[in-house]
């Protein structure tokens, strides 16, 4: 699994953040597609062998004093955790 930031869009009070998750063949075969809609805090789309996660983060949230790079690292870890939850063992 490879999680990358695909795009950042600055808005008036925050950021629209788009992440792409590349799945290998094994991960894709274990993906529970029905569970994707149950993932909270993100809009999730599956396109071929990639998952796309989108979320909005307001700068008025408690992490506003965190550098953007640290926030993105944390989001990538959260997305990886959520993807692992929808992979059957």
Tell me the pLDDT tens digit for each residue of 32-82.
Answer: 999 999 999 999 999 999 999 999 988 776 655 678 888 899 999 999 999
Say how far apart CA 18 and CA 88 lie, in whole Å. Answer: 25
Tens of pLDDT, residue by residue over 11-30, are 988 889 999 999 999 999 99
∠48-17-42 over CA atoms, to 5°?
65
What are the tokens at 70? 């640290």
Q: 3-state DSSP helix/strand/coil percent for the chain, to nearest 5?
A: 40, 40, 20
| Side-chain-side CA neighbours of residue 79 (13 Å) | 28
∠75-79-85 over CA atoms, to 5°?
145
Q: What is the pTM of this model?
A: 0.89
**Domains along the chain?**
2-85 (3.30.780)
């Amino acid at each position: 699994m490879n999680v990358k930031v695909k795009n950042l869009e600055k808005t008036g009070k925050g950021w629209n953040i788009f992440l792409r998750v590349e799945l290998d063949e094994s991960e894709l075969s274990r993906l529970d597609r029905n569970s994707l809609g149950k993932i909270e805090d993100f809009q999730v789309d599956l396109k071929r062998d990639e998952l796309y996660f989108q979320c909005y983060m307001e700068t008025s949230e408690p992490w506003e004093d965190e550098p953007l790079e640290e926030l993105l690292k944390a989001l990538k870890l959260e997305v990886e955790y959520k993807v692992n939850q929808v992979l059957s063992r």
